[in-house]
Structures are given as C-alpha cells and as structure tokens.
Amino acid sequence: MIGAFVAAALVALGQYVRSRDRRLLPLTAMLTFQAFALSRPPDDVWGEVSQLAVCLAGLLLILVLSTSPAPPSKG
C-alpha cells in the first residue's frame, strides 16, 4: 500500500513539473505524508504527526481549489 501512495505522489509531482499548476503541490504533500504515516509502527508519534499533516494538506488543497480559477479549457 505504501508503494501505491509513493507512486501516486511521483505522478502528481510529474504533473506539476509538466504543467506548473501549483494546485498539485498540496496533493503531492498529502500523498507523501500518507506514505510516511503508513511506514511507521502503529504506536509511533511521527505516524500520528504525519496523519495530522495529511489532514492539513487536504484542507490546504480544498482552500487552493476553492479560491483559484479553473484553468482554461482547450476545447
């Protein structure tokens, strides 16, 4: 499962490099923090801190998506 989150974070980072859309950065952070949290033992405090970081990155993503205009369509 950790590998899936790492792979998704790499894909999101690749999309950011390709498009320079800053809205992808909170998503990349969220996926990276989740992969780190899953790699920690259940009673580790850093796993809990990382889960908190996942929540904060998700809230930041909501804020960024709600305040920034949608990119122009190419159709």
pLDDT the model gives residue 72: 73
**pTM (predicted TM-score):** 0.80
Is there a domain that residue 49 lies in?
A: yes
Is there a domain that residue 35 lies in?
A: yes
Phi first, then psi, for residue 61 (nearest 5°) are: -60, -40
Q: What is the span of the domain harbouring residue 44? A: 2-66
Rounded CA-CA distance 16/74 in Å is 18
Is there a domain that residue 72 lies in?
A: no
pLDDT the model gives residue 34: 93
Is there a domain that residue 28 lies in?
A: yes
Q: What does the pLDDT look like over 32-54, one tens digit per residue?
A: 999 999 999 988 899 899 999 99
Structural domains counted in the chain? 1
